[in-house]
């Protein structure tokens, strides 16, 4: 199905070949009598400044004017006009790119890096690219707008109405900002002199990712999962910050610990079995030959049914149980639906 365009002809060319927005024109007889030209077909337009209908330009004589061509031509000429004005007045024309931040606080000790919320940083194109041209060949490509500087750096600005940028151009390595247009409102970034990666209709192609690192410990509040094996053989998972984890180790009753990629009952059981096979002192009901099938309700006292004592216990009950017998043949071999205690 063809894309629907809602062109209202808000823009036209005046006698000085300047682009004007109908909303910036006062409602005077002089303005009403003036004739403007269509950016697309070049035919005469007359401003409609009534109170009932929204302001717009209307062709004086019905013309076969293509709204897609109008949008595309308008975008190129408007960008050229606005950017040239910025060059002459020293005003900025900014783009905003995401700057990705990574916390390395736990990298050396735990081998973990955490992605932080990205930040938007501004770059003034006027300072980076003092040269602008419209539909100028660059090698085998003809970008809508070509920005360049004296050291050979270039930036293509492409306006997409119906046809996206060619795969050849996208894969060329050239930096491209592609702005998709469906109506005149999509030209607002040009008027505001700001194109940002937060816009859904703006795509930044072949830009290098900007990354920064910082060490936020001990102020970091992100909680990680830690497997802790106590000196008495008890084991549990701590879900807390690295700072709280270090404070826990200072108590002196932890024989072994490690950071886990995530939490959950299965990874807890996996670590219990690994500790046993590594010949570490560990006592847990999941490893006991007497642990039975675990079927729980909200009022259950614990996740383990002991087939020997005919009662339910938390899995660390094995630390003080005289009947505890570790048996690899009884170890859980699959992810069971169990509470994680």
pLDDT for the residue numbered 300: 47
pLDDT for the residue numbered 3: 53
Confidence class of residue 212 from pLDDT cuts 50, 70 and 90?
confident
pLDDT for the residue numbered 294: 58
- Over residues 220-267, the pLDDT tens digits come to 778 889 999 999 999 999 999 888 898 999 999 999 999 998 888 889
- Over residues 47-102, the pLDDT tens digits come to 988 766 688 999 998 878 888 999 999 999 999 999 999 999 999 999 999 999 88
Q: Are strands 154-160 and 176-180 parallel, antiparallel or unpaired?
A: parallel
- Residue 111 CA, chain-centre distance (Å), reads 24
Residue 169 has φ and ψ, to the nearest 5°, of -70, -40
Residue count of the chain? 341
Higher pLDDT, 107 or 302: 107
The long-range contacts involving 96-99, CB below 8 angstroms and separated by at least 24 positions, are: 96/120, 96/121, 96/122, 96/123, 96/194, 96/195, 96/196, 96/197, 96/198, 97/121, 97/123, 97/197, 97/204, 97/207, 97/210, 98/197, 98/210, 99/210, 99/211, 99/212
- Over residues 187-207, the pLDDT tens digits come to 999 999 999 999 999 999 999
Task: Give me the helices (H) in the chain, please.
Answer: 29-33, 67-89, 107-110, 125-128, 167-170, 188-192, 242-249, 265-277
Confidence class of residue 339 from pLDDT cuts 50, 70 and 90?
very low
For residue 140, say if its preceding peptide bond is cis, omega within 30 degrees of 0. no
Least confident residue range of 18-22, 263-267, 295-299, 319-323: 295-299
What is residue 231's three-state secondary structure? Answer: coil
Residue 309 pLDDT exceeds 90: yes
- Over residues 19-52, the pLDDT tens digits come to 999 988 888 888 888 889 999 999 999 998 876 6
- Over residues 130-182, the pLDDT tens digits come to 999 999 999 899 999 999 999 999 999 999 998 778 888 888 889 999 999 99
CA dihedral 84→201→166→163, nearest 10 degrees, is -100
pLDDT for the residue numbered 52: 63
pLDDT for the residue numbered 203: 94
What CA–CA distance (Å, rounded) separates 45 from 57? 6
Measured CA distances, 41 to 65, 78, 150, 222, 301 (Å): 6, 16, 36, 59, 81
pLDDT for the residue numbered 322: 96
Confidence class of residue 338 from pLDDT cuts 50, 70 and 90?
very low
Measured CA distances, 23 to 10, 50, 102, 181 (Å): 7, 12, 46, 20
- Over residues 266-286, the pLDDT tens digits come to 899 999 999 999 999 999 999
Confidence class of residue 337 from pLDDT cuts 50, 70 and 90?
very low
């Amino acid at each position: 199905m063809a894309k629907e365009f809602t062109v209202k002809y808000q823009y036209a060319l005046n006698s000085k070949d300047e682009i004007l927005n109908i909303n910036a024109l006062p409602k005077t007889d002089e303005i009403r009598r003036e004739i403007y030209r269509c950016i697309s077909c070049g035919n005469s337009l007359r401003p409609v400044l009534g109170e009932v209908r929204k302001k717009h330009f209307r062709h004086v004589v019905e013309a076969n004017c293509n709204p897609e061509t109008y949008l595309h031509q308008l975008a190129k000429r408007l960008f050229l006009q606005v950017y040239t004005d910025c060059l002459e007045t020293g005003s900025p024309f900014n783009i905003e790119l995401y700057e990705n931040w990574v916390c390395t606080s736990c990298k050396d000790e735990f081998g973990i890096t955490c992605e932080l919320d990205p930040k938007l940083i501004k770059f003034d194109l006027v300072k980076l690219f003092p040269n602008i041209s419209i539909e100028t060949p660059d090698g085998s490509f003809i970008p809508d707008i070509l920005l360049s500087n004296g050291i050979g750096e270039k930036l293509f600005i492409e306006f997409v109405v119906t046809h996206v940028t060619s795969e050849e151009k996208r894969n060329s390595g050239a930096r491209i900002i592609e702005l998709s247009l469906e109506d005149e409102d999509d030209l607002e970034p040009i008027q505001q002199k700001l194109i940002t990666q937060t816009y859904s209709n703006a795509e930044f192609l072949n830009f290098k990712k900007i990354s920064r690192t910082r060490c936020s410990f001990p102020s970091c509040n992100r909680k990680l999962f830690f497997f802790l094996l106590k000196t008495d053989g008890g084991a549990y998972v701590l879900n807390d910050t690295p700072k709280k984890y270090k404070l826990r180790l200072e108590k002196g009753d932890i024989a072994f610990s490690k950071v886990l990629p995530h939490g959950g009952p299965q990874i807890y059981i996996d670590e219990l079995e690994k500790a046993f096979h590594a010949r570490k002192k560990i006592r847990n009901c999941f490893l006991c030959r007497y642990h039975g099938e675990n079927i729980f309700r909200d009022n259950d006292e614990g996740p383990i049914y002991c087939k020997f004592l005919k009662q339910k216990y938390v899995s660390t009950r094995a630390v003080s149980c005289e009947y505890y017998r570790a048996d690899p043949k009884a170890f859980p071999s699959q992810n069971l639906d169990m509470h994680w205690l």
